[in-house]
């Protein structure tokens, strides 16, 4: 009969062998422990947009909704800088535009620094529209109906857009350079006075007659434009079809048509650049948490859309655009919704 010491030695050998086999099995099947290996997140950070814009307006209600899952804080940001913050793990969720992700994949040298190694899509939320606004009296006086006709005048102009690093400035700069072969420096040489400011100050300068034109991106329904129309007549310039195709081919942007009745000054359809407001998320967040976040977005869309009507456009049919990487946890939720497994 073996003594007690021999029994203990055999047990240790068996246990050691089991642990080796278990370690090998887990090592060869990393998906089984992906969430377990993910870092523990006790607090999430949302980055929005400049003060006065739609992204900024949605920040607090989104943070409040998501705080039912995990504590969340919200602060202002910008479409371009938000991607950089997510990639560097200085934020967890952020607003941006789909075209930024397209720019990072375009091969253009100036966008090679746009790193997205840690960036995944949480959801594509609603269409984003470029508004190239001009005082109607100025447009009529100089026979300006489109961005191309404005640039062809080669005349002095008081122009503004949002600050560099924002989605609006990025889109405007992209449009000028790749759509019309010009840039801020060239425009200054022909007499343009170019300013970078926030929404409210640009609107004030415009309605007070201190700006001729300003351009920025927003959703399909913009309260700021309606408010401006109560003070002065506003025209919205169209973007030429050739330009829209060039930008689509290079950056995967789209086209949006502003219809008569959308704004007081629109009497005929205005074709302009279209894109999508998206929410991006850090790949470091575990799948289970990303699933819960997507679920909360969907469940609280009614509450957020009371503040920003465009948020109501969130849909599982458009949440995962082709060509953009969606976080696996979020993709699981949107796919379940499409398949009718989640009725919330």
Dihedral sign of CA atoms 122, 126, 130, 133 in order = negative
Burial of 110 (0-12, 13-18, 19+ CB in 10 A): exposed
Check residue 46 and give its pLDDT.
96
- What burial class does residue 195 get, using C-beta atoms within 10 Å of its C-beta: 0-12 exposed, 13-18 middle, 19+ buried? middle
pLDDT score of 219: 87
Q: Would you give the distance in Å from CA 12 to the centre of its chain? A: 56
CA nearest neighbour of 131 among 277, 237, 230, 55:
237
pTM given for the model: 0.71
- Quote the CA–CA distance of 284 and 314 in Å, as a whole number: 24
The answer to whether 254 and 97 are in contact (CB under 8 A) is: no
Return per-residue pLDDT of the chain as tens, 344 residues: 555 455 445 555 544 443 333 333 333 343 334 343 334 578 999 999 988 888 999 999 999 999 999 999 999 998 889 999 999 999 999 999 888 887 877 777 777 778 889 999 999 999 889 999 999 999 999 999 999 999 999 999 999 999 987 888 989 999 999 999 999 999 999 999 999 998 889 999 999 999 999 999 988 889 999 999 999 999 999 999 999 999 988 887 889 999 999 999 899 999 999 999 999 999 999 999 999 999 999 999 999 999 998 999 999 999 998 878 899 999 999 999 999 876 55
Alpha-carbon distance of 29 to 27, in angstroms, equals 5
Bridge-partner residues for 257, per DSSP?
Answer: 271
d(CA 76, CA 58): 11
- Gap between the Cα atoms of 301 and 289, Å rounded: 18
In order of their start, the domains of the chain are 42-126+277-338 (3.40.190.10), 128-275 (3.40.190.10)
Where on the phi/psi map is residue 87: left (φ > 0), alpha (ψ -120 to 50), or beta? alpha
- The Cα 175–Cα 177 span in angstroms is 6
Cα–Cα distance list, 215 to 139, 144, 282 (Å): 15, 15, 30
Predicted local distance difference test score (pLDDT) of residue 5: 53
Let me know if 344 is exposed, middle or buried by CB neighbors in 10 A (0-12, 13-18, 19+). Answer: exposed
d(CA 266, CA 200): 22
């Amino acid at each position: 009969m073996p003594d007690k010491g021999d029994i203990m030695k055999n047990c240790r050998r068996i246990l050691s062998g089991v642990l080796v086999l278990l370690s090998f099995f887990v090592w060869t099947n990393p998906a089984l422990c992906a969430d377990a290996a993910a870092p523990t997140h006790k607090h999430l950070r949302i980055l929005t947009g400049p003060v006065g814009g739609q992204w900024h307006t949605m920040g607090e209600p989104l943070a409040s909704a998501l705080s039912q899952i995990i504590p969340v804080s919200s602060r202002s940001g910008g479409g371009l800088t938000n991607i950089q913050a997510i990639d560097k793990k200085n934020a967890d969720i952020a607003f941006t535009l789909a075209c930024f992700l397209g720019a990072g994949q375009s091969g253009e040298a100036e966008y090679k620094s746009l790193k997205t190694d840690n960036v995944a899509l949480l959801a594509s939320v609603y269409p984003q529209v470029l508004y190239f606004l001009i005082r109607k009296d100025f447009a009529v006086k100089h026979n300006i109906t489109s961005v191309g006709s404005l640039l062809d005048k080669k005349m002095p102009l008081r122009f503004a857009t949002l600050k560099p690093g924002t989605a609006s400035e990025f889109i405007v700069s992209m449009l000028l350079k790749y759509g019309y072969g010009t840039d801020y420096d060239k425009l200054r040489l022909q007499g343009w006075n170019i300013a970078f400011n926030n929404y409210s100050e640009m609107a004030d300068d415009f309605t007070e007659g201190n700006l001729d034109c300003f351009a920025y991106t927003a959703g399909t329904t913009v309260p700021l434009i309606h408010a401006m129309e109560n003070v002065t007549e506003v025209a919205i310039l169209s973007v030429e079809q050739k330009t829209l195709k060039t930008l689509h081919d290079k950056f995967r942007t789209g086209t949006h048509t502003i219809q008569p009745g959308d704004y007081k000054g629109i009497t005929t359809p205005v074709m302009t650049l279209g894109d999508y407001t998206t929410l991006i998320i850090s790949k470091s967040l575990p799948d289970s948490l990303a699933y819960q976040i997507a679920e909360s977005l969907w469940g609280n869309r009614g509450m957020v859309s009371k503040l920003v009507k465009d948020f109501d456009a969130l849909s599982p049919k458009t949440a995962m655009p082709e060509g953009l990487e969606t976080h696996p946890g979020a993709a699981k939720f949107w796919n379940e919704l499409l398949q009718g497994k989640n009725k919330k």
